[in-house]
Chain A
Amino acid sequence: MNNPIQNVMEKIKTWARTNSPWAIHFNSGSCNGCDIEILATLTPRYDVERFGIKLQGSPRHADVLICTGPVTLQARDRLVRIYEQMPEPKFVVAVGSCSISGGVFDGCYNVVGDISEVIPVNVYVPGCPPRPEAIIYGIEQLLKTLQP
């Protein structure tokens, strides 16, 4: 990558990516606890939009996939499909204990396991459920790794 124009373009892309990541949220078997905390990060007290983070409806517009819960047999195909519909480069944040290890649902017959058994994960946020601050910190860690 010696072309100076390409270099500049890459820098602009990284700048744009780290300053306004669009996220999509998918619940693959969570108890809702993490989902309401993710929703709480959008609301006035935590307000992630000040960092340029926006929750987006369509996987085709999203950079970051925020996953909650263990993966159930029913939701597995959907999770993979949503992941494949996202454009490159894509990142996955797994929120909550269940998405890290299966949590309390470990061993239930309809649970495949944690998120990393189905799709690659970049950042894990532990907690049952994690506080909104922790979720914001997790996404910030992800954005830090994107910096050159």
Chain B
Amino acid sequence: MPRQKSERFIVPIGPQHPALKEPGHFEFTVEGEVVTNATARLGFVHRGMEKGAESRTWTQDLYLMERVCGICSHVHSMAFVLGVEKLANVQAPPRAQAIRELVAELERIHSHILWLGVAAHEGGFDTLFMFSWRDRETVMDLLETISGNRVNYSANVLGGVKVDINERQKDELLRGMDFLEERTRHYLKVVTEDDTFLGRTRNIGVMTFEEATRLGAIGPTGRASGLLRDVRMDSPYAGYPDFPIQIVTAKAGDLEARFVVRIKELFESYRLVREIVEKIPSGDLTTKIPRRIPEGETVSRVEAPRGELFYYIKSNGTDRPERVKVRTPSLCNCASVLTTAIGHKLADMPMILAGIDPCFSCNDRMVVLNGPAGQSLWDWEKLRQYGIEYYKK
């Protein structure tokens, strides 16, 4: 029987798909089992928050920005307050800065363990998913004792923090860290020694150092390819000048390296939490900040669990910002998925996709298109029609 010339198929995944917890749409072109091309369509969770921020006051925006992403909510509000404090020329007290760092590191622990579970689940290793999420409840309890909420802690206010830690909470934190450290050591052993799991991760989705540099990979995804890039080290903010981190990198750039980098970052976070608990400076929690922020513009960078988070804030001297621009780490890493996916089997796609720890709710931004006749503004109906036509092809 003559073979068909081309056996190309396009496999659409999403926006509602069991492998994705959030809506995102991917199209993989496959020849047999091997992926030859990949495209992504984002924007299902685009809500128009940057525009919405312009019609809210600085304080209201704090709560809006915290809900850019539920997993890394604290770093979003931290990037925002650090920018606003820079504009207002106000410095939060040292104790507030230390508590900001403490909550950020606890959030990193929760986010990395969450990722470990989800990535293991995508690889079909549900036991690890269940175990890691059971242990994650420890850090969720700690965040709840500190802030009163499991997610969206709203620990920051303009000019400081609104939560404090007492002796009892310090004990709980230390006990929690001991438990988690022991468990994490076990997970490190599992992901580096379990043969079945290594079959799904070793040499899969390899991104070399050169490629990572070219694609602008950041965060643990970039560090797993040997990139020395971490905002906490490059330009320390909040409490990081007093409680510095040690950067964790790996060389291989495959999925296994991303597991190892994230797990080793957990140990670093445990160490930092212990250090902050022991040496937390005493003093006030907040300073006074004006209701109207002086005119000016600023850039604020923090290291989110997924990589560098970038805020641009412009004030026109009123009680509302003139422009807030957010650039989230998942957007930078998205290109790396589409490139590393090519040449792998379709079955590896969920793992490669999960490997960058994608977060679509952070991601979905509006892009203004420069049309052919010099027109740069599209109304909504036109944009929608364009989108429908574009994806019809």
Is B63 part of the contact surface with A, judged by Cβ < 8 Å?
yes
Alpha-carbon distance between A70 and B130 when the two chains are bound, in angstroms: 29
Residues of B within 8 A of A69 (CB): 45
Residue among B117, B130, B131, B361 making CB contact with A31, cutoff 8 Å: B361
Within 8 A of B (CB), among A78-136: 78, 82, 103-105, 107-111, 128-129, 131
Number of B interface residues at 8 Å Cβ cutoff, please give it.
Answer: 44
The answer to whether B55 touches A105 (Cβ under 8 A) is no
Residue among A32, A40, A57, A82 making CB contact with B22, cutoff 8 Å: A32
Residues of A within 8 A of B71 (CB): 32-33, 36
Alpha-carbon distance between A110 and B51 when the two chains are bound, in angstroms: 10
Is A34 part of the contact surface with B, judged by Cβ < 8 Å?
yes
Is A16 part of the contact surface with B, judged by Cβ < 8 Å?
no
Residue among B16, B18, B52, B133 making CB contact with A107, cutoff 8 Å: B52
Alpha-carbon distance between A82 and B17 when the two chains are bound, in angstroms: 11
Residues of B within 8 A of A33 (CB): 67, 70-71, 73, 151-152
Residue among A57, A108, A128, A131 making CB contact with B49, cutoff 8 Å: A108
Flag A31-57 by CB within 8 Å of B: 1 or 0 each: 111111101100111000000000011
- The stretch that binds B, out of A6-14, A22-30, A137-145, is A22-30
Is B162 part of the contact surface with A, judged by Cβ < 8 Å?
no
Flag B53-84 by CB within 8 Å of A: 1 or 0 each: 00100000001100111110100000000000
Residues of A within 8 A of B64 (CB): 104-105
The answer to whether A110 touches B133 (Cβ under 8 A) is no
Is B8 part of the contact surface with A, judged by Cβ < 8 Å?
no
Alpha-carbon distance between A54 and B18 when the two chains are bound, in angstroms: 12
- Shortest beta-carbon distance, B134 to chain A, in Å? 4
The answer to whether B45 touches A27 (Cβ under 8 A) is yes
The answer to whether B52 touches A32 (Cβ under 8 A) is no
The answer to whether B151 touches A36 (Cβ under 8 A) is yes
Residue on A nearest B22 in the bound complex, by CB: A27
The answer to whether B134 touches A45 (Cβ under 8 A) is yes
Flag B94-107 by CB within 8 Å of A: 1 or 0 each: 00000000000000
- Shortest beta-carbon distance, B315 to chain A, in Å? 21
Is B175 part of the contact surface with A, judged by Cβ < 8 Å?
no
Q: Which 10 A-B pairs have the closest CB atoms?
A: A33-B70, A57-B18, A32-B70, A43-B133, A108-B52, A108-B48, A110-B48, A33-B151, A109-B48, A44-B134
Of the A-B pairs whose beta carbons lie under 8 Å apart in the complex, a sample of 10, sorted by A's number, is A24-B16, A27-B23, A35-B21, A43-B133, A44-B130, A75-B23, A78-B15, A105-B47, A107-B55, A109-B51
On A, residues with C-beta under 8 Å from B are: 24-37, 39-40, 43-45, 56-59, 69-70, 72-75, 78, 82, 103-105, 107-111, 128-129, 131
